[in-house]
Structure 1
Amino acid sequence: MNSTTTAADDGTRRSMVLGAQVMNYGSADAAWRWPGTNPRTYFDPDTWAETAAQAERGKMQFLFIADHPAVREDLTHHKPSATIDPIVVAGHVISHTSRIGIVLTQSTTFNFPYTVARQLKALDLLSGGRIGWNAVTTQEPAIAANFGSPVADRTTRYARAHEFVQLVQALWGSWGPDALKLDTDAGVFADATEIRPIDLAGRHVASRGPLPIPPSPQGQPILFQAGGGAEALTIAGSYASGVYSMATDIQTGRAHRLDLDEAAVQAGRAPEDIRLFMGAFTTVADSMEEALARREELMRLSPTPVHARLRHLSALVGARIPADRLHAQLSASERSSLRPAPFQLHAEKAVRLLTEGHTPYEVLLRGVTDFHTTFLGSPEEIADEMQELFEADACDGFVIAPDVVGDGLPAFTDKVVPVLQRRGLFHADYEASTLRGHFGAPRQYGRDVNPAPEPEIAVGASDQ
């Protein structure tokens, strides 16, 4: 068992780290229509600021801002699933918060290392050291078309990602940590001998540098990784301080943790330096009955028809469930024939709920066709599920995505968080002022880490 999943040596209990994916309407596709929701949230900076401030009042350690630089929804009835732009949103949010971190997504496929290094380090400096970078390789044709490029094969995308991250980190360190002087009497702004080009080039990307930006209080942004597969594990093990997992239960969470630990060791890093997060959709109410009623109303407002969800459920359990059986329990023979589809999220949970006697409609209300695990019910019931996963070493924390941000985020921070705090599972207040401090991640500046196993990049005279 790695040290991120055990009690500390001094006997204190470890506590979970919580992020919030809330810089949009909510995880429910009907969230933008929910009573009380500001329909202009997508482009309303005041709402962004209040949402971030609410997460900070709940002592959450970071906001997670996903990205999808293409239109993928039919916007006739569906809300955009991503923010208007991660850099723009983060730039506004940092001026309305003081402690919470902001992890924002930037692609290593359709960007230049210098641009990403410059923008994120500038945000990190201006925020007092609260920025993280979710480094992703992008494979969707619609996004590639927006940048006028074809989709590269997986091997190429990840080879470029290794070079890209190393170049960004080298650029972050190209301004020496003690170079800034601001000596007005002597007329010395900085020690120019400590601000040096990096002169790095690989097969896919290159940069001369240096960046004209001094370090933040945390040195430089921390890295996040999201995605699956062996190549993604190598990226995470080599560079990440946080991993946004696709795990949905104890079994898949533990498996991801073991794979991540091995990848960290292979990269010469300590496994305990990487936090694993499970995504979680939440519906908080005073009781399970009220939570189910809320989800039923959200389903009624949803542009996704119930019969489409029923087809998805049928695929998960390996049986065709006809529409006229939506509100009826399956027969004993039907239940005995159910089989969870392999490699499908929530398939085993769907089989279990149907076998227990829930109707297909009741199973759908419980979120089995959603991407992440869904926590619903009273604050105590939600805290119970989080505690079980956390104490079973399935994750080090959660990225919370309320069904509707406007009232769902306050319900989580004002009702669920106090339960977690009373149980000693979540901190009572911020212990640090930087995102690196929130994670307990080692200080890093430039490339002062063990080299990544692949690919090698050409090194200039001033490589850090």
Structure 2
Amino acid sequence: MNATTTTTDDGTRRSMVLGAQVMNYGSADAAWRWPGTNPRTYFDPDTWAETATVAERGTMQFLFIADHPAVREDLTRHKPSATIDPIVVAGHVIGRTSRIGIVLTQSTTFNHPYTVARQLKALDLLSGGRIGWNAVTTQEPAIAANYGSPVADRTTRYARAHEFVQLVQALWGSWGPDALKLDTDAGVFADAAEIRPVDLAGRHVASRGPLPIPPSAQGQPILFQAGGGAEALTVAGSYASGVYSMATDIDTGREHRRALDEAAVLAGRAPEDIRLFMGAFTTVADSTEDALARREELMRLSPTPVHARLRHLSALVGVDIPVDRLNAPLSSSERASLRPAPFRLHAEKAVRLLTEGRTPYEALLRGVTDFHTTLLGSPEEIADEMQELFEAGACDGFVIAPDVVSDGLPAFTDRVVPVLRRRGLFHGDYEAATLRGHFGAPHQYGRTVEPARSPAGPGRS
């Protein structure tokens, strides 16, 4: 695959893959207060299911469920940023959907491999092969305190992660692929000789096995990885079929793709077997002006004060912007002093907007202090930006995080997706029944991976 074109090596047109990170109120911190939003969404299973079916209606390939097993917000005015529990949510959603995949986060730091292997393979079997595991390490002290453990250093966390993933995959393959017989006449449920312990132990984790669970329709879950740094790249290059990138533009996306390709080759894998996803906060409206008006109202409802956002913006551009200058363009001398802060998301975008004469408030409305890239405007305008990023090789697809799930996800599904389809950028319907099929990922069972398929396989055409 050539990362700078929309065709594969054999001339087949590439198609982007879309996920939806939507299992809470939305990416805007005031989403829970938005008119039409069910304030009980955080713990309402029917809302979870409805959200999943909307994403499936748009033929998105997966839902992405992040996790943060600690309270990190002041819940007086802030909504929880993570779901109530990924395993519980996924267990409910699989029964209300039939084609969309579900990628859920489980840490390799504060879990046991046998527990993760058992839970995820059970979900994968019951869902018909639609589960992905976002394998992450955990470094936050508040989470460590919840598990009664200290925070390990980065080297130790990632050494444990490698052992953990390998052990989970070995456990997934401990029930032989042909062991299940279900021969009622002979009274043979399974061939016990093909269900074997793994008996593996490393420096950090160990398990005897086996798992009492046969293969799913896709064999076993696929792996996702979300995180930055050289260690995370090594994990992604070694095991992942999907990577949730922190890239926010063409340059950072291409650089992540280049580094990921190198990591895959070093691990003996085909780079095209790993999909790179850019996070996208979306605000869909009839026009840019309408989208900005919607974001302005969300900002008005937000518990985060504007002066705090302004401090963030000032740090991004290297110029102290006082609150009384919020709605005034910077002076010519101030513009000449603008410098994007190194290694800060959206710093160059912030400088560009202010240099063009946008007010600091307008820059804030356009998402310069957001974590991911912000796509706002009409369906055509949002599709334009997605197409530019995709065709430039900055990503293989997007994880869509609507500003407000209750009306923002239907707006993306019913208004943006048709534009992408008309342009030949997104599939018209599901081509496969499993998440592995949606990704075009090679078959894997246990630690054995089949040779890489052509980039024009399922999900690549």
TM interval, short-chain normalised: over 0.9
The alpha carbon displacement at 1:36 in A equals 0.4
Residue in 2 aligned with 1:159?
Answer: 159
Identity across the alignment (%): 91
Q: Specify the alignment match of 1:94 in structure 2.
A: 94
State the secondary structure of the residue aligned to 1:300: helix
Q: Distance in 1 between matches of 2:346 and 2:379?
A: 22
CA distance in 1, matches of 2:277, 2:41: 26
Q: Tell me the residue number matched to 1:456.
A: none
Counterpart Cα distance in 2 of 1:155 and 1:5 = 37
Between 4-13 and 110-119, report the one with greater CA deviation.
Answer: 4-13
Partner residue in 1 for 2:189: 189
Partner of 1:421: 421
Determine if contact 2:295/2:365 at 8 Å carries over to the other structure: yes
Give the equivalent residue in structure 2 for 1:150: 150
Structure 2 gaps, min length 5: 451-461
Is the contact made by 1:233 and 1:260 (CA closer than 8 Å) also made in structure 2?
yes
Q: Is this contact kept in 2: 1:120–1:221, CA < 8 A?
A: yes
Report what 2:278 is aligned to: 278
1:57 pairs with 2:66: no
Q: Distance in 1 between matches of 2:3 and 2:78?
A: 43
**Counterpart amino acid of 1:283?**
T
Match of 2:308 in 1: 308
Please report how far the alpha carbon of residue 3 of structure 1 lies from its aligned counterpart in structure 2 after TM superposition.
Answer: 6.7
Scaled by the length of structure 1, the TM-score of the pair is 0.96
2:108 counterpart residue number: 108
1:262-273 equivalences under 5 Å are 262-273=262-273
Does residue 13 of structure 2 align to residue 13 of structure 1? Answer: yes
SS at match of 2:448: coil
Match of 1:204 in 2: 204
- The answer (yes or no) to whether the contact 1:5–1:396 under 8 Å persists in 2 is no
Deviations 1:30-80 (A, max 9, x none): 000000000000000000000000000001000000000000000000000
Q: CA deviation at 1:11?
A: 2.7
- Name the CA distance, whole Å, in 1 between partners of 2:139 and 2:75: 22
AA matched with 2:47? T
Aligned to 1:245: 245
* 2:287 corresponds to: 287
Distance 1:2 1:262, change over 3 A: farther
Q: Deviations over 1:276-335 (max 9, x none)?
A: 000000000000010000000000000000000000000000000011100001111111
C-alpha distance in 1, partners of 2:121/2:243?
20
CA positional deviation for 1:10:
4.4
CA 57–350 in structure 1, closer or farther in 2 if over 3 Å, else same: same
User: Could you say which residue in structure 2 is the equivalent of 1:355?
Assistant: 355
The residue type paired with residue 126 of structure 1 is L
After TM superposition, the structure 1 = structure 2 runs for residues 109-148 of structure 1, keeping only pairs within 5 Å, are 109-148=109-148
Output the amino acid matched with 1:129: G
Matches within 5 A, 1:295-334: 295-334=295-334
**In 2, Cα distance between equivalents of 1:301 and 1:66:** 24
2:78 aligns to what? 78
Alpha carbons of structure 1 residues 244 and 4: separation in structure 2 relative to 1, 3 Å: farther
**8 Å Cα contact 1:3-1:272 kept in structure 2:** no
Secondary structure in 2 matching 1:25: coil
Number of aligned positions between the proteins:
450
Q: Is the 8 A contact 2:103 2:134 kept in 1?
A: yes
Query: Which residue of structure 1 aligns with residue 259 of structure 2?
Result: 259
* Offset, 1:12: 2.6
Aligned-partner Cα distance in 2 for 1:6–1:155: 38
Is the Cα contact below 8 Å between 1:4 and 1:275 reproduced in 2?
no
**1:224 matched to which residue of 2?**
224
Tell me the equivalent position of 1:431: 431
User: What residue identity is the alignment partner of 2:23?
Assistant: M
Q: Is the 8 A contact 1:281 1:400 kept in 2?
A: yes
C-alpha distance in 2 between matches for 1:308 and 1:126: 46
Classify the secondary structure of the residue corresponding to 1:296: helix
Is the contact made by 1:4 and 1:396 (CA closer than 8 Å) also made in structure 2? Answer: no
**SS of structure 2 residue aligned to 1:106:** strand
* Displacement of 1:336: 1.3
Once superposed, which parts of structure 1, at least 4 consecutive aligned residues long, lie more than 6 Å away? Answer: none
Counterpart-to-counterpart distance in 1, 2:97 and 2:12:
29
For 1:243, what is the secondary structure of its paired residue?
strand
Q: Which amino acid aligns with 2:78?
A: H
Q: Secondary structure at 1:54's aligned position in 2?
A: helix
Quote how far apart the aligned CAs of 1:4 are: 9.5
Kept in 1: contact 2:4–2:392 (CA 8 A): no
Partner in structure 2 of residue 234 of structure 1: 234
TM-score normalised per structure 2: 0.97
User: In structure 1, what residue type is equivalent to 2:228?
Assistant: G
Cross-structure match for 2:336: 336
Q: Deviations over 1:62-115 (max 9, x none)?
A: 000000000000000000000000000000000000000000000000000000
1:69 and 2:64 correspond = no
Contact 2:243 2:277 in 1 (8 A): yes
**What are the within-5 Å matches in structure 2 for residues 28-47 of structure 1?**
28-47=28-47
Listed one character per residue, the Cα deviations across residues 101-146 of structure 1 (whole Å, up to 9, x for unaligned) are 0000000000000000000000000000000000000000000000
Q: Is the 8 A contact 1:2 1:272 kept in 2?
A: no
